[in-house]
Amino acid sequence: MRRYAMKKILLLITVLAAITATAFSIDKVSIGEIASAEGKVNIYKENEVRGELFRKNNHRLFKGDRIKTSGKSKAFINFRDQSKVVVLEKSLLTIDDFKKYSPSEGKVVFKITKTNEAQGVQIGLQTTVIGVKGTTFLVEVEPNPDGIGAAPAKVYLKEGELEFTSVEGEFKRYVEQVQEEYNSFVNETMSDYERYLKEQNEEFVEYVKEFSIKGGAAISIDGNEVRNIEFDDNVTNAFKELDLFSSRINVQGQTQKKKTVRPPIPPRPQPKPDNQGK
């Protein structure tokens, strides 16, 4: 009986050790890499205060890592699903998990690869979670020096579609009503006072738990208030940085493929028939 009990205990210990080792190995799987960087970039491991200065291209990234850029600095990240990210100057991005990222300072540009998986990428902000499937967009988190309340954020969508879900409560979304043909007629006939009243009514509020935007749209999020905004030159330049990075990665990938292609092995020469016996 004792031998049998000991065998069961040893078997249980072995199983637990295997489970622990598997969980540890999964946790240590690289999620992506900093392909290259400009200026001063620090990488902070999960729960660590002291960061490591980026020194070498293709620095591997893991769950919980934080990437922080200083002034006039950038980090170019390539994730294992081939999604691309550019962390611009004075910015901070946390890798919560594979396909879960949280920008908390500055500007971060994303180009998310489209897949057939049901669960897409999630971008976490203080007041909202953004659902992403194959899109290109920029998230800007504005400074919040006093730390009171949620930091205001802006989202610029170049292409694709984004879904926003409120973390708590409902969004108070301001939506403009556009009636171009009617407005052009009315503006010619109405008085100044009537025009003022009309302008006050051109924007209305809707309360929603979630909403979506499509390519070419941009919004600001301040607490639970959401407003439409416009693209500017800084945003356009940020998208250009992402396009250049994507082009470099594609060229490098094609070069590596060419290097790995081996020439065909020539056929072995066949031995000549022995005619001496004839």
Q: Is the pLDDT of residue 156 over 90?
A: yes
pLDDT tens-digit series, residues 196-208: 555 555 568 999 9
The pair phi, psi for residue 146, each rounded to 5°, is: -80, -15
Range with lowest mean pLDDT among 42-51, 70-79, 164-173, 183-192: 183-192
- SS3 (DSSP) at 36: strand
pLDDT at residue 177, rounded to an integer: 58
Higher pLDDT, 57 or 201: 57
Q: Is the pLDDT of residue 180 over 60?
A: no
First to last CA, the chain: 82
- Across-strand partners of 182? none
pLDDT at residue 25, rounded to an integer: 39
Return the beta strands (E) in the chain as ranges.
Answer: 32-38, 41-44, 52-53, 59-61, 66-69, 74-79, 84-87, 92-97, 100-111, 121-124, 128-132, 136-141, 153-159, 161-166, 171-176, 203-208, 210-214, 218-222, 225-228
The answer to whether residue 149 is domain-embedded is yes
Residue 106's pLDDT band (boundaries 50, 70, 90)? very high
The answer to whether residue 68 is domain-embedded is yes
**CATH number, residue 222:** 2.60.120.1440
pLDDT at residue 16, rounded to an integer: 47
pLDDT at residue 24, rounded to an integer: 41
Q: Determine the distance from the C-alpha atom of residue 224 to the mean position of all C-alpha atoms in its chain, rounded to a whole number.
A: 22
Q: What gap in Å lies between CA 123 and CA 209, rounded to an integer?
A: 17
- The stretch 216-222 carries a mean pLDDT of 98
- The stretch 95-120 carries a mean pLDDT of 93
Higher pLDDT, 277 or 216: 216
Classify 262 in phi/psi space as left (phi over 0), alpha (psi -120 to 50) or beta: beta
- The stretch 77-94 carries a mean pLDDT of 97
Range with lowest mean pLDDT among 11-15, 55-59, 63-67: 11-15
Q: What gap in Å lies between CA 99 and CA 122, rounded to an integer?
A: 6
The answer to whether residue 270 is domain-embedded is no
Residue 175's pLDDT band (boundaries 50, 70, 90)? confident
Of 67, 61, 78, which is closest to residue 39 (Cα–Cα)?
Answer: 67
Q: Is the pLDDT of residue 151 over 50?
A: yes
Q: What gap in Å lies between CA 100 and CA 123, rounded to an integer?
A: 6
With a pLDDT cut of 90, the percent of the chain lying above it is: 60
Q: What gap in Å lies between CA 266 and CA 278, rounded to an integer?
A: 31
Q: Is the pLDDT of residue 49 over 80?
A: yes
Domain that holds residue 81: 31-170+209-260
The answer to whether residue 178 is domain-embedded is no
For 113-141, b where at least 16 C-beta lie within 10 A, e where not — what string? eeeeeeebbbbebbbbbbbbbebbbbbbb
The answer to whether residue 92 is domain-embedded is yes
Q: Is the pLDDT of residue 116 over 70?
A: yes
The answer to whether residue 73 is domain-embedded is yes
Residues in the chain: 278
pLDDT, averaged across the chain: 83
Higher pLDDT, 103 or 262: 103
Q: For the chain, how many structural domains are there in total? A: 1
Residue 213's pLDDT band (boundaries 50, 70, 90)? very high
Q: What gap in Å lies between CA 85 and CA 101, rounded to an integer?
A: 11
The answer to whether residue 175 is domain-embedded is no
The answer to whether residue 214 is domain-embedded is yes
